[in-house]
């Protein structure tokens, strides 16, 4: 019986040399660490050291999340990854009416530099790499991090980490946008320019396909629409007067890893190859680091099930293996109970142990790109690449990523694929263990981690104390300077930093920008 991949591409029962007719191994593969980076961005990959084990965490108050970070570090995680609650992601303070009922629920509540100071208390920021999943207000959270580092005596030049800062995918698949696309892209370019001189080791953007995949994108759609967004960001920075080699080495990407291991490996290899060609041929990048598609991977949250949740341990292990075999630079492994609630301490530890088993008990770190030359994987890489390039051409035909977003193209394509997956699952054609096959008559009880609803009241009290204690005139003047910069051509990050230093809140800073730039309202035409 013929099978299809997640991207709807045919999977043959057996592959051989004939399936690679006309294939040029030297031209398409090359060596690890060299153009076109199909085999990985570094010559030695994991033979020198494993990938960064970056566990995503954050919930409740800054103090609670700080305790979880300390536990993860003690258990051997090598990088922090901060989850913010929805009000923070949308640029609202915890006492805003729109924040009611969401404070601290899906991430940590951060309202000001006071909260950021607690979040990283006792964590040496010159020794840890920190990723922050924040998009529309990415500049605000980055500057808060820099201010806390300064208080620790850590110079900005040694700070390492990543801000997601990918607002285009918010319009496509996720929805935590604030401003319209044009000022959002201007803010992205300002971040690129600021970090080049002030925080040079920071990855200024993590262009994300993960959320598109969670919304239903196929592997080919995931890399096509993500790379198309990347092209839009590069064009924006170049149009702002930046040389491509001044910022491109700090670009990074973020992808999902599904249980379909072979296609996922092929997807990662195809994405590297496409990006290297785009940066060299379209943008004329000369620095080899500008051609490297470096990426973080997270295992597929959408594939976790609330039924028989322990089975998720197996799913996550397979997904993580696919990411490693595909050459990821850092990895987050989901906890088995995330389909039910926030992870418990034990489940978060087991998720980290999954990575450690792969790194230290298997032989996947003994050699670089172990699937190179596999008839199946090389053919699948070609197929995914061709499908992704076709979608990227369709985006270009519409005028680029922003114009395609305004036409609803990416969103519509993803929704059609999501419907196909749901239909196949409902019909039993797509097996989900424990859901439509191999079910239990009765599920075992499970006690999840619950967030204290009193957090919202405590954050509101903290905000009231902050506003009573700070210099109101200094805050008003700093916010005025920010509005002036936003209305002109100056980089908005320097006045934004001064407003945050004066203890302006996240919501106040974002409101100042809303006053000048407006807010994005999606149209029904999508």
Q: Tell me the per-residue pLDDT of 311-362, one tens digit each, with 9 for 90 and over.
A: 999 999 999 999 999 999 999 999 999 999 889 889 999 999 999 999 999 9
Mean per-residue pLDDT over the chain, rounded: 94
What local confidence, expressed as pLDDT, does residue 276 receive?
98
The most confident of 15-19, 69-73, 356-360, by mean pLDDT = 356-360
The set of residues, in sequence order, having a beta carbon less than 8 Å from that of 41 and lying 6+ positions away, is: 33, 272, 292, 293, 294, 327, 329
Q: What percentage of residues in the chain have a pLDDT greater than 90?
A: 88
Contact call for residues 171 and 81 (beta carbons, < 8 A) = no
Q: Which residue has the higher pLDDT, 20 or 475?
A: 475
End-to-end Cα distance, the chain: 37
Contact call for residues 251 and 230 (beta carbons, < 8 A) = yes
The arithmetic mean of pLDDT across residues 300-320, rounded, is 97
The 10s digit of each residue's pLDDT in 177-191 is 999 999 999 999 999
What local confidence, expressed as pLDDT, does residue 524 receive?
54
The 10s digit of each residue's pLDDT in 380-417 is 999 999 999 999 999 999 999 999 999 999 999 999 99
CA distance 34 to 43: 7
By CB neighbour count within 10 A (0-12 exposed, 13-18 middle, 19+ buried), where does 22 fall? Answer: exposed
CA distance 292 to 274: 10
What local confidence, expressed as pLDDT, does residue 1 receive?
47
CA distance 511 to 104: 21
**Strand 202-203 vs strand 295-299: parallel, antiparallel, or unpaired?**
unpaired
Q: pLDDT category, 23, cuts 50, 70, 90? A: low
The arithmetic mean of pLDDT across residues 43-56, rounded, is 93
Q: pLDDT category, 24, cuts 50, 70, 90? A: low
DSSP letter at 171? Answer: I
Tokens standing for 510? Answer: 């974002």
Backbone region of residue 159 per phi and psi (left: phi > 0; alpha: psi in -120 to 50; beta: other values): beta
DSSP letter at 108? Answer: B
SS3 (DSSP) at 81: strand
pTM listed for this prediction: 0.92
Instruction: Work out the number of other CB atoms within 10 angstroms of the CB of residue 12.
Output: 13
Domains and CATH numbers, the chain: 31-363+379-426 (3.20.20.240), 457-517 (no CATH)
10 preceded by a cis bond (ω within 30 of 0): no
The arithmetic mean of pLDDT across residues 155-177, rounded, is 96
CA distances for 122 relative to 66, 80, 113, 146, 471, angstroms: 9, 14, 15, 15, 27
The 10s digit of each residue's pLDDT in 188-222 is 999 999 999 999 999 999 999 999 999 999 999 99
Nearest to 391 by CA among 405, 408, 410, 378: 410
Tell whether the model's pLDDT for residue 290 goes beyond 70.
Answer: yes
Name the helix (H) or strand (E) containing 226: helix 219-239
The set of residues, in sequence order, having a beta carbon less than 8 Å from that of 1 and lying 6+ positions away, is: none
CA distance 233 to 248: 10
Tokens standing for 255? Answer: 């992808």
What local confidence, expressed as pLDDT, does residue 526 receive?
38
Tell whether the model's pLDDT for residue 525 goes beyond 50.
Answer: no
Q: pLDDT category, 2, cuts 50, 70, 90? A: low
Backbone region of residue 433 per phi and psi (left: phi > 0; alpha: psi in -120 to 50; beta: other values): beta
In angstroms, how far is CA 520 from the centroid of its own chain? 21
Q: What is the residue whose two structure tokens read 């993803």?
A: 414
Tell whether the model's pLDDT for residue 25 goes beyond 60.
Answer: no
**Strand 10-11 vs strand 3-4: parallel, antiparallel, or unpaired?**
antiparallel
Q: Please report the DSSP string for 235-304 in residue order.
A: HHHHHTT--HHHHGGGEEEEEEE-S-HHHHHHHHHHHHHHHHHIIIIIT---SHHHH---EEEEE-GGG-
Q: What is the residue whose two structure tokens read 């305790």?
A: 67
Q: Please report the DSSP string for 12-69 in residue order.
A: -S---GGGGTT--HHHHT--TTSTT-TT-SSSSGGGTSPPEEEEEE--BSHHHHHHHH
The arithmetic mean of pLDDT across residues 422-439, rounded, is 96
User: Which range, of 29-38, 137-146, 254-263, averages the lowest pLDDT?
Assistant: 29-38
Nearest to 166 by CA among 218, 129, 130, 203: 203
Tell whether the model's pLDDT for residue 20 goes beyond 90.
Answer: no
Nearest to 171 by CA among 331, 512, 410, 514: 410
The arithmetic mean of pLDDT across residues 160-182, rounded, is 96
Q: Please report the DSSP string for 334-400 in residue order.
A: --TTTTTSBPPHHHHHHHHHHHHHHHHTSSTTSSS-TTTT-HHHHHHHHHHHHHHHHHHHHHHHTTS
């Amino acid at each position: 019986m013929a099978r299809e991949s997640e991207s709807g591409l045919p999977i043959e029962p057996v592959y051989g040399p004939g399936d690679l007719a006309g294939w040029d191994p030297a031209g398409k593969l090359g060596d690890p660490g060299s153009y076109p980076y199909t085999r990985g961005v570094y010559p030695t990959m994991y033979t020198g050291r494993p990938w960064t084990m970056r566990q995503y965490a954050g919930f409740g108050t800054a103090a609670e999340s700080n305790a979880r970070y300390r536990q993860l570090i003690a258990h051997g995680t090598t990088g922090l990854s901060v989850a913010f609650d929805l009000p923070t992601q949308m640029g609202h303070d915890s006492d805003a009416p729109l924040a009611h009922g969401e404070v601290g629920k899906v991430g940590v509540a951060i309202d000001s530099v006071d909260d950021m100071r607690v979040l990283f208390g006792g964590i040496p920021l010159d020794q840890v790499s920190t990723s922050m999943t924040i998009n529309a207000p990415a500049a605000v959270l980055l500057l808060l991090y820099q201010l806390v580092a300064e208080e620790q005596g850590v110079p900005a030049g040694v700070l390492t980490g990543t801000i997601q800062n990918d607002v285009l995918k918010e319009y496509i698949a996720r929805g935590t946008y604030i401003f319209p696309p044009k000022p959002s892209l201007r803010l992205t370019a300002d971040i690129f320019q600021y970090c080049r001189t002030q925080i040079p080791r920071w990855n200024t953007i993590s262009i994300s396909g993960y959320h598109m995949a969670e919304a239903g994108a196929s592997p080919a759609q995931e890399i096509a629409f993500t790379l198309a967004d990347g092209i839009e960001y590069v064009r924006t920075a170049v149009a702002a007067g930046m040389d491509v080699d001044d910022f491109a080495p700090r670009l990074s990407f973020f992808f999902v890893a599904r249980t379909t291991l072979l296609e996922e490996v092929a997807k990662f290899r195809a994405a590297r190859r496409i990006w290297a060609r785009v940066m060299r041929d379209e943008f004329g990048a000369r620095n080899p680091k500008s051609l490297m598609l470096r990426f973080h991977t997270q295992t597929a949250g959408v594939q976790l099930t609330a039924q028989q949740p322990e089975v998720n341990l197996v799913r996550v292990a397979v997904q993580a293996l696919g990411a490693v075999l595909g050459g990821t630079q850092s990895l987050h492994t989901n906890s088995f109970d995330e389909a039910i609630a926030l992870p418990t301490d034990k489940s978060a530890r087991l998720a980290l142990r999954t990575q450690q088993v792969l790194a230290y008990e298997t032989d996947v770190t003994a050699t670089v790109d172990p699937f190179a030359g596999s008839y199946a994987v090389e053919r699948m890489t070609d197929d995914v690449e061709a499908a992704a390039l076709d979608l990227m051409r369709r985006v270009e035909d519409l005028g680029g990523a922003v114009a395609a977003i305004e036409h609803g193209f990416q969103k519509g394509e993803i929704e059609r694929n999501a419907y196909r997956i749901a239909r196949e699952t409902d019909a039993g054609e797509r097996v989900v263990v424990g859901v439509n096959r191999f079910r239990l008559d009765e599920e075992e009880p499970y006690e999840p981690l619950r967030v204290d609803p009193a957090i919202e009241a405590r954050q509101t009290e903290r905000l009231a104390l902050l506003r009573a204690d700070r210099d109101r005139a200094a805050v008003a003047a700093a916010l005025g300077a920010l509005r002036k910069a936003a209305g002109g051509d100056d980089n908005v990050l320097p006045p934004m930093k001064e407003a945050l230093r004066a203890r302006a809140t996240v919501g106040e800073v974002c409101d100042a920008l809303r006053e000048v730039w407006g807010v994005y309202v999606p149209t029904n035409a999508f």
